[in-house]
């Protein structure tokens, strides 16, 4: 929800007094900065914005911003955020988490917000490692990477968050790179404006625990999504997502965006069918139990 | 020659899907229309079709407290039902069975039992031409034999099948009449049971325990409900799926129980009254987030319709074994409140109270129902929504100043800011936090916050009436029962007193934290405390020992069925020796 205040808010006006707890050089600083800029671009109302997060380094982000927020449990950010949005469609609800939070412990929730097309924005700060618990493999860690729980190398194939979300029907899927501030800011703005479930996978390197997916390693491998890519073609988007990852590329930009009925639309239809009304009298239900 | 009986129990038994449940329902509805009090009880297998199903209806002029001890009339739809119930038939009971032409191949001649063969299958197939009308034929016969009002049964059929068309109604009437006529022409009534009609039904409804929980929630003003299907709790969701959208509320069927409670916490944080329902396995899954709600101080209501555990256990059977889980099943020290309804009427009003407590104290409140209570239907006085006390959370109004979401207060309750409130932005968090909501782990802050959260439990006994005491002068034995065992215990106490024993009783509806003022007083006045409960470990008894030091006589059963009044009365007699 946007407001037109007499004095436009600047990105620093959205910053809370709580200083970020991330390590020096963490990619998540880039996400926070882009986020604050996007909020200012949209002139988001601080009182009508709720940032919901799971658990992990990235999930501390609500504390660093002045809006309403919920720092929830590991993996449960999406259903909590969904509850907030369905209860209060007037609120702007933005969900945050990391790759472990979103695709390992919380992986079971993603298909359902995607297929329901719940009207929330979900930003995953993907560093391919568990940072807060000090460097264990995550579902996006590359095969063979040595981590504290995989001293002989990761034995599992990495999950591709983009094709995962595309497959289950997310209506906005994008990828960004945390140090590309302008691109990321614009993508966040687009995602927040999108009606329905909007997902951004932000490649956000962890300089402390992930010595493979480093800023250096991405040099020369970050490119724009091809200009001729059709963002309304889901199969093309899945192909692009899988191919680019296989080639070790980080394509930034929108992979897919279409408009479809959202969970809020459908629940509205149900209330209409049921004859929903503010004048509802519970006695009408009670009388249905008179034999 | 038949004497009027004011308390009659008819049991229907047969193959699941054969119309046993609709027969029982129909009889129950007709009886309520005739002005009688009714309580039904059913058990069925965990399979969709087939297996033995039983539905029992008890009618009386006065308030019925439990499903009773046994039955007076048995209606056997098939051989299996007959075999399973033969051993319970007592002298003077009546047995109606499908013969000849049905699954039962032998004529019954059980000494002392009045046996009435009614060829329900044959009549429905040959005379009505619809095998599915067997239960209607049966009902006609039962109504004729025990003077249940045919007019009221017709009324029930009309209101139940009216929408499906006049043909269906007519076919049912025809089957009903055929059953009645068969009895009139072929059976000489020799038993003594006759149902007297009651006073005119006024302001009475008949409703199941699960629907009653939904109704309570609706009356309390629930606006958001999220659940995952699980026996025996699913009907709570069915009820709200039908009615909540009418009140402009939303029901979201979640992908699992964890998502359900997460959804509910989000909705409540956003300012709405929100609820979920589940059964044991689902409650296990929700525990982490119940702790989070406790830490975040977000009001949520969780209805747990208990079934036999652990694991998949006895999914369709009765047990009261989630008390430990409800009270303590969470990591860390997480305050929550657990209420347990005695009967259908309590399901309505305790659910309302659960919302009141959740809102007032900003914490999770559980309603512990159980399978037999959830599935039971009973007559009750129409609730009057205009007479309810409804509490809503104390809100921060946004009048400026330094808002502290977790402000340390005398009562432990701090005003809650709802998103949208200017100046009220804060982070609701599962991390230990300062008054401002920012993470803080210092020892002083931790201790103060822990104390704040637990303070809310101190005055529950003053906030609502959590116990009902039934003292008898000079009694040395005191019975404490909880949940749906209360009704059974009430009858048992009456029975024991009728037999000349002195016995008192205490019925706590608040089962965690324990209402210690009332419990300590009660324990202090009696030499022996008996606690009957349907679980293996004697869970309430152990909680009471832990909190009071009193070691009660714990009487537990855990075979999948509730106590009967006779069992508890017998135990009272035994310990009084």
Q: pLDDT at position B148, please? A: 84
pLDDT in tens, B37-61: 999 998 776 655 667 888 999 988 8
Largest distance between two CA atoms of chain B: 86
The tally of CA atoms less than 13 A away on the side-chain side of residue B292 is 27
For the residues B117-144, what does the mean pLDDT come to? Answer: 88
Interface contacts A/B by beta carbons within 8 Å: 185
For the residues B144-161, what does the mean pLDDT come to? Answer: 86
CB contact under 8 A, A66 and B431: no
Q: What is the nearest CA distance from B77 to chain A, expressed in angstroms?
A: 25
Q: pLDDT at position B1, please? A: 36
For the residues A269-277, what does the mean pLDDT come to? Answer: 97
Quote the CA–CA distance of B101 and B490 in Å, as a whole number. Answer: 44
pLDDT band at B399 (very low <50, low <70, confident <90, very high): confident
Instruction: Compute the residue count for chain B.
Output: 577
Phi, psi of A12 (to 5 degrees): -70, -20
pLDDT in tens, B56-113: 999 888 889 999 988 999 999 989 999 989 989 999 999 999 988 888 989 888 999 9
For the residues A262-291, what does the mean pLDDT come to? Answer: 96
CB contact under 8 A, B266 and A81: yes
CB contact under 8 A, B33 and A291: yes
By Cβ distance, the residue of A79, A108, A276 closest to B246 is A276
Residues in chain B within 8 Å Cβ distance of A91: 270, 419-420
CB contact under 8 A, B266 and A66: no
pLDDT in tens, B233-250: 999 999 999 999 999 999
Instruction: Judge whether residue A1 has pLDDT over 70.
Output: no
% chain B with pLDDT above 90: 73
Q: pLDDT at position B5, please? A: 56
Phi, psi of B20 (to 5 degrees): -60, -50
**A179-A110-A210 Cα angle (round to 5):** 40
Could you write out the DSSP letters of every residue in B62-98? S---SS-SS-SEEEESSHHHHHHHHTT--TT-EEEE-
3-state secondary structure of A166: helix
pLDDT band at B163 (very low <50, low <70, confident <90, very high): confident
Q: pLDDT at position B2, please? A: 41
pLDDT in tens, B510-552: 999 999 999 999 999 999 999 999 999 999 999 999 999 999 9
pLDDT in tens, B339-380: 999 999 999 999 999 999 999 999 999 999 999 999 999 999
pLDDT in tens, A3-49: 555 689 999 999 999 999 999 999 999 999 999 999 999 999 999 99
Quote the CA–CA distance of B12 and B283 in Å, as a whole number. Answer: 33
CB contact under 8 A, B426 and A68: yes
Per-chain mean pLDDT for chain A: 96
By Cβ distance, the residue of A84, A108, A271 closest to B266 is A84
C-alpha to C-alpha distances, B264 to A37, A109, B267, B276, B296, nearest whole angstrom:
32, 15, 5, 7, 13
pLDDT in tens, A173-223: 999 999 999 999 999 999 999 999 999 999 999 999 999 999 999 999 999
Q: pLDDT at position B35, please? A: 86
Burial B291-325 (b: 16+ CB within 10 A, else e): bbbbbbbbbbbbbbbbbbbeeeebbbbbbbbbbeb
Q: Within an 8 Å CB–CB cutoff, is residue A110 touching chain B?
A: no
Q: What is the nearest CA distance from A90 to chain B, expressed in angstroms?
A: 9
Q: What is the nearest CA distance from A130 to chain B, expressed in angstroms?
A: 19
CB contact under 8 A, B264 and A73: no
Instruction: Judge whether residue B197 has pLDDT over 80.
Output: no
For the residues A248-266, what does the mean pLDDT come to? Answer: 97
Per-chain mean pLDDT for chain B: 93
Instruction: Judge whether residue B464 has pLDDT over 70.
Output: yes
ipTM reported for the complex, 2 dp: 0.97
CB contact under 8 A, A276 and B247: yes
Q: pLDDT at position B193, please? A: 84
Q: What is the nearest CA distance from A81 to chain B, expressed in angstroms?
A: 6
Instruction: Judge whether residue B400 has pLDDT over 80.
Output: no
Q: pLDDT at position B196, please? A: 74
Strands, E assignment, chain A: 49-53, 68-71, 92-98, 121-126, 172-177, 198-203, 222-224, 250-257
């Amino acid at each position: 929800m946007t407001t037109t205040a007499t004095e436009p808010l600047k990105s620093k006006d959205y910053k809370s007094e709580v200083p970020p707890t991330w390590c020096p050089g963490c990619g998540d600083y880039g996400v926070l900065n882009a986020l604050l800029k996007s909020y200012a671009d949209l002139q988001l109302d601080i009182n009508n914005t709720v940032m919901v997060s799971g658990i992990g380094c990235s999930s501390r982000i609500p504390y660093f911003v002045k809006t309403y927020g919920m720092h929830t449990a590991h993996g449960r950010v999406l259903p909590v955020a969904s509850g907030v949005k369905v209860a209060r469609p007037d609120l702007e609800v933005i969900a945050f988490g990391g790759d472990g939070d979103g695709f390992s412990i919380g992986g079971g929730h993603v298909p359902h917000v995607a297929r329901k097309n719940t009207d929330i924005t979900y930003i995953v700060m993907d560093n391919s490692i568990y940072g807060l618990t000090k460097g264990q493999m995550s579902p996006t860690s590359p095969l063979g990477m040595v981590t504290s729980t995989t001293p002989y190398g990761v034995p599992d194939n990495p999950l591709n968050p983009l094709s995962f979300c595309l497959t289950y029907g997310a209506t906005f899927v994008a990828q960004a790179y945390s140090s590309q501030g302008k691109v990321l800011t614009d993508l966040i703005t687009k995602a927040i404006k999108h009606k329905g479930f909007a997902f951004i996978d932000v490649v956000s390197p962890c300089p402390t625990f992930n010595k493979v997916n480093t800023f250096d390693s991405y040099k020369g491998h970050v490119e724009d999504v091809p200009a001729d890519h059709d963002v309304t073609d889901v199969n093309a988007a899945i192909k692009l997502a899988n191919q680019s990852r296989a080639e070790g590329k980080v394509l930034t930009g929108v992979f897919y965006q279409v408009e479809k009925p959202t969970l809020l639309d459908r629940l509205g239809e149900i209330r209409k069918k049921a004859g929903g009304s503010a004048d509802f009298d519970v006695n009408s239900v009670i009388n249905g139990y008179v034999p | 020659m038949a004497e009027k009986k004011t308390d009659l129990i008819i049991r229907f038994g047969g193959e699941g899907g054969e119309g046993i449940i609709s027969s029982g329902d129909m009889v129950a509805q007709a009886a309520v229309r005739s002005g009688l009090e009714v309580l039904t009880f059913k058990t069925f297998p965990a399979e969709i079709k087939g297996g033995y199903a039983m539905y029992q209806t008890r009618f009386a002029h006065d308030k019925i407290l439990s499903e009773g001890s046994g039955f007076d009339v048995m209606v056997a739809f098939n051989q299996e039902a007959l075999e399973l119930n033969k051993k319970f038939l007592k002298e003077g009971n009546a047995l109606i069975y499908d013969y000849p032409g049905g699954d039962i191949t032998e004529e019954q001649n059980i000494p002392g039992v009045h046996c009435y063969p009614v060829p329900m299958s044959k009549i429905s197939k040959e005379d009505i031409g619809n095998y599915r009308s067997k239960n209607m034929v049966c009902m006609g016969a039962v109504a004729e034999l025990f003077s249940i009002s045919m007019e009221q049964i017709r009324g029930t059929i009309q209101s139940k099948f009216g929408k499906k068309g006049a043909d269906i109604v007519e076919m049912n009437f025809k089957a009903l009449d055929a059953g009645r006529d068969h009895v009139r022409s072929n059976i000489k009534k020799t038993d003594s049971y006759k149902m007297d009609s009651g006073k005119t039904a006024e302001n009475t409804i008949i409703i199941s325990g699960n629907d009653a929980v939904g109704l309570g929630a609706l009356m309390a003003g629930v606006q958001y409900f999220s659940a995952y299907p699980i026996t025996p709790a699913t009907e709570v969701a069915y009820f709200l799926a039908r009615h909540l959208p009418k009140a402009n509320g939303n029901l979201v069927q979640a992908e699992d129980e964890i998502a359900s409670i997460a959804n509910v916490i989000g909705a409540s944080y956003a300012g709405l009254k929100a609820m979920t329902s589940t059964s044991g396995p689902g409650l296990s899954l929700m525990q982490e987030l119940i702790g989070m709600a406790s830490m975040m101080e977000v009001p949520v209501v969780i209805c747990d319709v208990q079934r036999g555990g652990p694991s998949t256990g006895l999914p369709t059977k009765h047990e009261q074994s989630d008390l430990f889980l409800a009270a303590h099943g969470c990591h860390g020290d997480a305050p929550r409140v657990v209420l347990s309804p005695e009967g259908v009427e309590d399901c309505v009003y305790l659910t309302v109270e659960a919302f009141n407590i959740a809102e007032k104290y900003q914490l999770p409140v559980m309603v512990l129902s159980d399978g037999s209570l959830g599935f039971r239907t009973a007559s009750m006085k129409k609730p009057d929504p205009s007479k309810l006390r409804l509490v809503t959370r104390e809100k921060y109004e946004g009048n400026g100043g330094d808002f502290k979401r977790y402000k340390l207060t005398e009562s432990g309750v701090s005003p809650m800011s709802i998103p949208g409130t200017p100046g009220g932005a804060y982070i609701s968090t599962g991390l230990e936090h300062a008054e401002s909501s920012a993470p803080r782990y210092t020892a002083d802050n931790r201790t103060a916050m822990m104390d704040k959260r637990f303070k809310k439990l101190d005055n529950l006994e003053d906030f609502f009436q959590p116990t009902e005491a039934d003292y008898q002068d000079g009694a040395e034995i005191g019975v404490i029962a909880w949940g749906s065992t209360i009704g059974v215990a009430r009858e048992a106490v009456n029975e024991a007193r009728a037999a000349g024993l002195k016995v008192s009783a205490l019925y706590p509806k608040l089962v965690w934290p324990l209402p210690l003022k009332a419990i300590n007083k009660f324990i202090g006045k009696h030499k022996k405390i008996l606690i009957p409960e349907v679980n293996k470990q004697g869970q309430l008894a152990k909680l009471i020992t832990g909190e009071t030091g009193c070691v009660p006589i714990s009487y537990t059963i855990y075979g999948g069925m509730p106590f009967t009044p006779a069992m508890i009365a017998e135990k009272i007699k035994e310990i009084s020796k």
